[in-house]
Amino acid sequence: MKQISRTPGSLKKKAAGQFKSHASSRSDLSDRRHTSVQAPYQIGKFKELANRCHTPVQFRTLLDQLEKYIPYEGFACGWGNPAIYAVSFFYTRNYPKEFLNWYLTTGMLGKDPVFNRWLGTQQPQIFSEVVEDLGDQFPRDFIQKIKEFKLWHMITGGRVEIPDELVSYFAVVMRSREVCELNRDLFNELLPLLHNALLKTYPNGVLTPQQTEILCEKCKGKLNDKGIAKKMDISVSAVKKQLTEVRKRLCAKTSCNAVAIALQNRFITIVYD
């Protein structure tokens, strides 16, 4: 696994500045809740939770703990194969599903300058900072959507596993650019723990084998629900139920939209008879 460089010295210095006074007013405490970072020696609880995380309930508990360290307002993560911009799994918390639907439907991952810059540097990126540097490389509608859904202040980053051609990618929505800058080092420090926890908890793709098969048949466009049910030797109601779950899992509005998302992000591979 390729290691990401860390800067614990600067992290400790920032943390010391944040926690130098114990006699703070209530408003000061509120400000800290939105801006503070914690030094590496204070993340023992998070590390303990991450190391034993292997169920969805434990992963949610881990994200609750993460919020105590990094005051995120929205969270998204996933894993897949960066070589072909294939998404295998994603998970969100307080993240706008309308934006995610647009991002997946348009296959924006392969055109996302923030993701591509992270992939090249493997260092956490602040969205607004990348826009300042590479503004002309952003699709216009991408910037419009980011502003519409108030995602301008995000820190993104992940981990790369070279032998398996697998990456995990995380995004935390923050209150401001200043809060992003303050928490970037700690975010970097916690990424290996988040990466391992994500892959232990969700080692399989977002769709089950049966859901994948049903969606593949939908993509081929030759069979209706009754025909798919007959071919797979299941009931029509089972097909409809699974398609409803597929739409939910892919943040799709319709079955046709689910097909578009699946093809754009390579959730499925079509093999024609």
Q: Are strands 74-81 and 154-161 parallel, antiparallel or unpaired?
A: unpaired
Same fold, 8-201 and 209-264: no
Mean per-residue pLDDT for 57-85?
A: 95
* Res 122: pLDDT: 93
209-264 CATH, one of 1.10.490.20, 1.10.10.10, 1.10.8.50, 3.40.50.970: 1.10.10.10
Q: What mean pLDDT is predicted for residues 249-261? A: 94
Coil, strand or helix at 135: helix
Which residues, 6+ apart, have CB-to-CB distance to 172 below 8 Å? 70, 72, 74, 75, 154, 155, 156, 183, 187
Range 248-256 average pLDDT:
94
Q: How far apart are CA 73 and CA 191, in angstroms?
A: 18
Report pLDDT for 28: 41
Q: At what angle do helices 97-105 and 140-148 cross, to 10 degrees?
A: 170
Query: What pLDDT, on a 0 to 100 scale, did the predictor assign at position 12?
Result: 35
List the domain boundaries for the chain: 8-201, 209-264
The predicted pLDDT at position 35 comes to 58
Q: Which of 26-35, 36-45, 95-104 has the highest mean pLDDT?
A: 95-104
Q: Which architecture does CATH list for 8-201?
A: 2-Layer Sandwich (3.30)
Mean pLDDT of 43-70: 95
pTM of the model: 0.82
What are 173-221's pLDDT values in tens digits? 999 999 999 999 999 999 999 999 999 999 999 999 999 999 999 988 8
Minimum mean pLDDT range among 19-23, 118-122, 243-247: 19-23
Complete DSSP assignment for 170-196: EEEE-S-HHHHHHHHHHHHHHHHHHHH
Give, in degrees to the nearest 5, the angle at Cα 51 between 203 and 205.
Answer: 10
